[in-house]
Amino acid sequence: MQPDPQDHHDFIHSEEFLQGLMKRQLRLSIACASAFLLLLLGLPLLNYLVPDFMAQRVGGFTLSWLVLGVLFFPYVWIIARWFITRSMALEAAEVKLAEETNRKNS
């Protein structure tokens, strides 16, 4: 016979735990999306507002093409790495918190 779900009082299954985890994950997602949008929207804006600055040559490329063609993908990889690392750290912290809370309650 399976235990009644109503009798299950693990902190990890509580609304409080899940809402806290989702809030932290949302904050992280918004931060990563903001970092991506900063470059995605900032580059055309810089090209429009300061075209002479963005047209200067750096390493054989105009600054605009250097950012777009060379630096864009490493920037996205850094954001992805940051997201994955922080997600794993958030998950580990939440699991540790849940284990401590369950230990106190038992």
70 occurs within a structural domain:
yes
In-domain check, residue 43: yes
Q: How many domains would you assign to the chain?
A: 1
Q: Which residue has the tokens 């060379």?
A: 70
Stretch 89-97: mean pLDDT, rounded? 87
Residue 9 lies in a domain: no
Residue 89 belongs to what domain range? 32-105
- Taking only the tens place, the pLDDT of each residue in 34-76 is 999 999 999 999 999 999 999 999 989 999 999 999 999 999 9
Quick check: is 22 in a domain? no
Gyration radius of the chain over CA positions: 23
In this prediction, residue 27 carries a pLDDT of 96
Helix (H, G, I), strand (E, B) or coil at 62: strand
Asked, for residue 51, whether it belongs to a domain, the answer is yes
| pLDDT reported for residue 12 | 64
Question: Does 16 map to a domain?
Answer: no
Residue 41 belongs to some domain of the structure: yes
The per-residue pLDDT for range 8-34, each reduced to its tens digit, is 566 666 788 788 888 999 999 999 999
Could you tell me if residue 60 is left (phi over 0), alpha (psi between -120 and 50 degrees) or otherwise beta?
left
Full-model pTM: 0.74
- Asked if residue 99 belongs to a domain, the reply is yes
Measured distance CA(24)–CA(13) in Å, rounded: 17
